[in-house]
Every structure is written in structure tokens, then in C-alpha cells.
Amino acid sequence: MSQQGKHRILMVSDFFYPNFGGVENHIYYLSQCLIKLGHKVVVMTHAYKNRSGVRYMTGGLKVYYVPWKPFLMQNTLPTFYATLPIVRTILIRERISIVHGHQAFSTLCHEALMHARTMGYKVVFTDHSLYGFADVGSIHMNKVLQFTLADVSQAICVSHTSKENTVLRSGLPPERVFVIPNAVDTAMFKPPPNRLSSDEIVIVVISRLVYRKGADLLVEVIPEVCRLHPNVRFIVGGDGPKRVRLEEMREKHSLQDRVDMLGAVPHAQVQSVLVNGHIFLNSSLTEAFCIAILEAASCGLLTVSTRVGGVPEVLPDDMVVLAEPDPTDMVMAITKAIDLLPQIDPQAMHNRMKKLYSWHDVAKRTEIVYDRAFRCSNQNLLERLPRYLSCGAWAGKLFCMVMIINFLFWGFLQLWQPDKDIEVVPDIDLTSSQSGEHIYGPCANDC
């Protein structure tokens, strides 16, 4: 840790801009606020198409797009050891003190945390998703998470439901897991200056059109709502493999004039879509938090959402109507929301969101987690191996072997290219020309 208790943080995840999503937004806004608090923040992610190398974003945020291409669902191919040389170089060049990994599904995150612990760095992990316990994919992912978190300094979850899920999946002691929710940039998501007419009710859906986001539910819900409420129109933003089913539904029920399919919506244009609606519909089948609900509420929309995961924790009861992930229950919830619309004041809702959620508050709470992680004692490899052994009769021995090989590989790199031969990057203050407190999201000039 540098002087005055300031940290030098490396954020690592496969999910970052120019890709858009909840994890990407979280890393970006958290990094910007930590920079404002005086910390140095560097982001490491994989290359996106021709975007490779070092880029700078708003506020002087430095991003390493390492030359690894995504293998599956924006994740890099698991290699265990191939990323160690470049992770080691970045840690030394930037004089990093804490490595912060994001998202259990990120291969790059798991490998970077493993390498950082091998090198004696403090590590923090944030889990953004909920996973099950029964299917084959979840079983394998939970074992990988158990391996990663066996030696993590501190962990963060975005909701209390997410914390319970992570503790059960990883076996991590609950006292080492903190709950810090997501937030919303209320300066970017504002309601329209004039209240919309209630002659036509517009329901907005902005989501990835995939199974876990409940796209199949929408196929059944939308026609029934249109049948019951002739003055309702839908705006559907998003893309994915389930988009074809929605378009087939629109054709089958002749709803071309009542269901607008926008396709993928860039994050910078989400607010301009939201302000055209009265109700925001979230049909997710699993959700740790859901930033989209915050963005909609900040724009003054009443939310109808499935009662799954951490969603019930996000908004006060008078801002959201919850339903079971069942078409009939969702139709009833939408009908209830339509009846409640006259009581909704978009500007008052926006003002409440300002007080409820702030990225600056998230950054300050994360800063406390970093301080606690930094006070954790460092241990050598022999003292840490019992933690991996406790992960299972066979898995524990395998994890120990992985860490021993990683330690030997790191020792070889130390001999081949000593730390003193790696050039340290000088700190440059790129924020001195900025004024004001607003944090603007990534624009066309970023990167």
C-alpha cells in the first residue's frame, strides 16, 4: 500500500468494454470512483477484435487488453499457467498492491487471482451471479470457485442472496464475505422533463435475449398482456439466440404494430429508450442484483420483475411489483402495475434513487474491504497448501499440485527475468484537467 493508505488496484475480468453488461459497468464506475478517492486503478481484460494493447479511458483509467482472444461466451481459453508471465509483468510494472477479480465465470479472473496469491499479493473477489448446485456446469463451476476462494483475502457479493449462494458454493467463511450492492449513475439516467401521456401504456424490456434472462417467458406474456390491455405497447431492446422466438411470436399474433424490436441497444442509448416507457419489465430466471432495474427506476419507470435471486432486495416495495417466474403470475403483476401508474411520480422516484444508490458510496465501502484485505497476514506456500487440501479428497490434492507447479513456474520466471529488469511505469496524473463530480460512462472517444 502506498502513502496515506492509498491502494494500487488491478481489476481483472474477461468482461469489460467495449462489451456491455452489468459486470462491465460495475468495474468501470467503481474504478472511476476509486480514482477520485486517490487510488490508482488499472484494468486487465482480454483483447476485443482489433482492440489489443494498452488504452486509456475517461479519468485516466488504464486498460490492458492482453492478446488473448475469447474462446466461449467472451471467456478466454483456460490455460492455468500461460497467463502468469503477463500477469506478473503487469503487477510489477504498475506496482500493484491488491488484485480484484470479478465474476465467477471469468477464466482470466480465476487465473489472475491464482498467480497473484502465488506471488504474495492480496486478492479480493467479487461475485456478480447466482449459480445452482445440481446441473453439471454448476457443479464444475462451484469446484473452480472453491479452489479460487480457498486462499482469497476477502470476497464481495452484490446482494445478501448472492452472499448466501457464494458461501454455500465455495465453503468460504461468511465473515470474510461482504455485501456491497451495485449502483446507478443517476446523472445519466433521468426521467423525461414532461410526464408521458397515459392514453397509451408503454412497457419496456431491455435485456439479453437468452434463456436465463427469461426470454421464453416473454413469448407467452406479451401476447396475453396485449389481449387484455388494448392500449399497451411493448418496446423490446436486446439481442440473443431467443430473439427469433420473439419475432415468431410477433408474427403469429400479428403484433407488429404493438411490439417494437430494437435489437442490441448500446448502453449510451439505454436512457433514451427508457424515457419512452411507463413500466419496465424484467423476466430473469436468475439474478444476483440487476442493474437494469436501477436504471429504469432512476428514469421514473415502475418495475415489474420476477421474484428471483437478489431482485427483492433492490427496490422499495412501492417501486416494484414482483411476480413468480410464471406467465400467468407475470400477467397479473403487469395488470397491477398498470393500475398503480397514476400514483407514480417519475421525478420523485428519481430523487429517491439518488439517495438510495451511489457509486461513490460503493467505492468507499469497497475501500474498507481493501483495507481489511491488506491487513491479512502473508503466508508462504507450505502454510497455504492445507487450505487447498480441504477442498476435497481428490480435488484438494489436484489443487495443491496446480499451486506447486505454479510456484515453480514463478520461480523460473524470477530467474529468467528478475523483477529489477522489468521497467516500472511512472505515475501520470491524467485527472488534473477534469472538474466536477459527475462520472461519465464510456463514449466513442474512450479507448
The pLDDT of residue 20: 78
The pLDDT of residue 277: 95
Q: Distance between CA 11 and CA 63 in Å, rounded? A: 9
- For cell 492445507, name the residue: 386
Task: Answer yes or no: is pLDDT of 446 > 70.
Answer: no
Domain assignment of residue 149, yes or no: yes
Q: Distance between CA 444 and CA 447 in Å, rounded? A: 8
Answer for the pair 375, 352: CB distance below 8 angstroms, yes or no: no
Domain assignment of residue 194, yes or no: no
| Same domain membership, residue 391 and residue 255 | no
Q: Which range marks the domain in which residue 220 is found?
A: 201-356
| Same domain membership, residue 254 and residue 208 | yes
Phi-psi map region of 223: left, alpha, beta (phi>0 left; psi -120 to 50 alpha)? alpha
**Sequence-distant (≥ 6) Cβ neighbours of residue 49 within 8 angstroms:** none
Domain assignment of residue 40, yes or no: yes
Domain assignment of residue 411, yes or no: yes
Given 319, 335, 356, the domain boundary residue is 356
Q: Distance between CA 84 and CA 328 in Å, rounded? A: 51
pLDDT tens column, 191-201: 998 888 888 99
| Same domain membership, residue 268 and residue 220 | yes
DSSP, residue by residue, 97-161: SEEEEE-TT-HHHHHHHHHHHHTT-EEEEEE-----SSSHHHHHHHHHHHHHHTT-SEEEESSHH
Higher pLDDT, 270 or 436: 270
| Same domain membership, residue 172 and residue 30 | yes
Per DSSP (E only), the strands in 300-444 are 302-306, 320-323
Domain assignment of residue 443, yes or no: no
Higher pLDDT, 267 or 115: 115
The pLDDT of residue 4: 59
| Same domain membership, residue 406 and residue 293 | no
Domain assignment of residue 431, yes or no: no
Task: Answer yes or no: is pLDDT of 42 > 50.
Answer: yes
Task: Answer yes or no: is pLDDT of 270 > 90.
Answer: yes
Task: Answer yes or no: is pLDDT of 3 > 60.
Answer: no
Task: Answer yes or no: is pLDDT of 434 > 50.
Answer: no
Domain assignment of residue 193, yes or no: no
pLDDT tens column, 380-403: 788 888 888 888 888 889 999 999
| Same domain membership, residue 400 and residue 306 | no
User: How does the average pLDDT of the chain come out, rounded?
Assistant: 89
CATH number of the domain bearing residue 266: 3.40.50.2000
User: Residues 62-76: what's their mean pLDDT?
Assistant: 86
Domain assignment of residue 156, yes or no: yes
Task: Answer yes or no: is pLDDT of 39 > 60.
Answer: yes
Answer for the pair 237, 266: CB distance below 8 angstroms, yes or no: no
Task: Answer yes or no: is pLDDT of 367 > 50.
Answer: yes
| Same domain membership, residue 274 and residue 220 | yes
Domain count for the chain: 2
DSSP, residue by residue, 166-193: HHHHH---GGGEEE------TTTS---S
Q: How many CB atoms lie within 10 A of CB 404?
A: 14
The pLDDT of residue 137: 67
Q: Distance between CA 364 and CA 181 in Å, rounded? A: 12
String of b and e for 109-146 (b: at least 16 CB within 10 Å)? bbbbbbbbbbbebbbbbbbbbbbeeeeeeeeebbbbbb
Given 333, 356, 379, the domain boundary residue is 356
**Sequence-distant (≥ 6) Cβ neighbours of residue 290 within 8 angstroms:** 22, 282, 284, 305, 310, 311, 314
| Same domain membership, residue 333 and residue 223 | yes
| Same domain membership, residue 317 and residue 210 | yes
| Same domain membership, residue 342 and residue 275 | yes
Given 338, 356, 374, the domain boundary residue is 356
| Same domain membership, residue 211 and residue 293 | yes
| Same domain membership, residue 283 and residue 169 | no
